[in-house]
Structure 1
Amino acid sequence: MTRRIVVGVDGSLAATAALRWAVRQAAATGADVVEAVNAWELSGSVLPPPVGVYDPRQVAANVLHEAVVGELGETPEIKVTELVLPGPASAALLGQASGAELLVVGSRGLGGFSGLLLGSVSRHVVEHAPCPVVVVRAEHADGTAG
């Protein structure tokens, strides 16, 4: 059976810190793969966008890939699979976390109010995850948590 760690990556500072933490944890525990997940939703439509029009799936894929390569390089020491899933972020993460050893999320993503201790996605997955959850805070430029 594959030992997986799932991590939410939305391009935020906290998600980038979560990705780094998940990879270090995988190396320390011998997990086989880190599954980096970003989710996307179509606003008000169930049809795919026409060619040449804003494509939220492609935007999510680009954000995810840039975060993974930017933090880990082209050939990370641990196998990292990039998954772009449809739907709300919390639902995508919870679904992917089924059977995982661990779910890792940033304390706050790109949306919401910056003064909140936990964002809506991190709070929801903590309350409903089928596996243990680690919430990672963003780091400031000086390396301290923020």
Structure 2
Amino acid sequence: MDGRGDVQRGDAAERLVAESTAAHLLVVGSHGLDESGARLEFGSTAEAAIALAACPVAVVRESRGPGRDGGIVVGVDSAGVADHALRWALHEAGLRGVPLLAVHTWREVAAEDWNDLTSDISDPDRERDAHRLLAERLAGATERFPDVELHRSVEHDRPVRALLAHAARAELLVIGSRGHAGFTGMLLGSTSRALAHCAPCPLLVVRPPA
């Protein structure tokens, strides 16, 4: 594998975002420093990278917790934002020779239901819809990636909590993210942001191609 190094002047986040326009993947560490030099668990450079980079971004942090024997985990949403992330996850699982777990949650509550205390109770129809949606998102995956051991999980839970539980032993967590609108209009979803800050394993953030 060919490699090269480069030293550049300027703000690290701005330079990395600029370089990402011609990159296949941008890899950053999760830690940073505040103005006093104190260590931050999640730095501004990583924050800017996942919000603004033109290519997928891998956020790598120090290993936490038990061994990483859980393969790869990918979050699958209901709006199709994670479709490109799913393809990345399947490709990575094939390269590494590890199983892939696709996770979809269905506890999303509509705004008009917030005052309805029964809206969070398990609904068989919604659960069936969630299983059907995940099956549709995964349709053709086995044929395109026959060597990947693919598992699926539909859960009555919030996306961040469900994905963090599975990421506890995973070697990689893959999620989708919406597009960006420059430094003045970051569009990083709450799920992506939360997982970037607290995922216990390396995180790959993939947004749809421009």
Short-chain TM bin: 0.7 to 0.9
2:159 equivalent in structure 1: 89
2:74 equivalent in structure 1: 7
1:131 equivalent in structure 2: 201
Show the 5 A alignment for 1:1-146: 2-31=69-98, 33-41=99-107, 43=109, 44-45=117-118, 46-49=120-123, 55-73=125-143, 76-108=146-178, 116-138=186-208, 145-146=209-210
2:168·2:201 contact (CA, 8 Å) conserved in 1? yes
2:69·2:169 contact (CA, 8 Å) conserved in 1? no
1:141 equivalent in structure 2: none
State the percentage of identical aligned residues: 39
| Structure 1 residues 133 and 40: alpha-carbon distance in aligned structure 2, compared to 1, 3 A threshold | same
Structure 1: runs of 5+ lacking an equivalent: 110-114, 139-144
| Structure 1 residues 8 and 131: alpha-carbon distance in aligned structure 2, compared to 1, 3 A threshold | same
1:22·1:34 contact (CA, 8 Å) conserved in 2? yes
Shift, 1:86, TM fit: 1.5
1:4·1:34 contact (CA, 8 Å) conserved in 2? yes
Q: TM-score, normalised by structure 2?
A: 0.55
| Structure 1 residues 5 and 67: alpha-carbon distance in aligned structure 2, compared to 1, 3 A threshold | same
The AA in structure 2 aligned to 1:7 is V
Aligned residues: 130
Q: Aligned-residue CA RMSD in angstroms?
A: 2.5
3-state DSSP class of the match of 2:138? helix
The separation in 2 between residues aligned to 1:3 and 1:47, in whole angstroms, is 30
| Structure 1 residues 116 and 60: alpha-carbon distance in aligned structure 2, compared to 1, 3 A threshold | farther
Shift, 1:48, TM fit: 3.1
The separation in 2 between residues aligned to 1:56 and 1:132, in whole angstroms, is 32
2:167·2:201 contact (CA, 8 Å) conserved in 1? yes
| Structure 1 residues 68 and 128: alpha-carbon distance in aligned structure 2, compared to 1, 3 A threshold | same
The separation in 1 between residues aligned to 2:139 and 2:178, in whole angstroms, is 21
Structure 2: runs of 5+ lacking an equivalent: 1-67, 110-116, 180-184
2:160·2:191 contact (CA, 8 Å) conserved in 1? yes
Higher relative contact order (CA 8 A, sep 6+): 1
Shift, 1:137, TM fit: 1.1
3-state DSSP class of the match of 1:27? helix
Deviations 1:41-99 (A, max 9, x none): 174425433x6xxx222221111111001454497430110100121111111111110
1:3·1:101 contact (CA, 8 Å) conserved in 2? yes
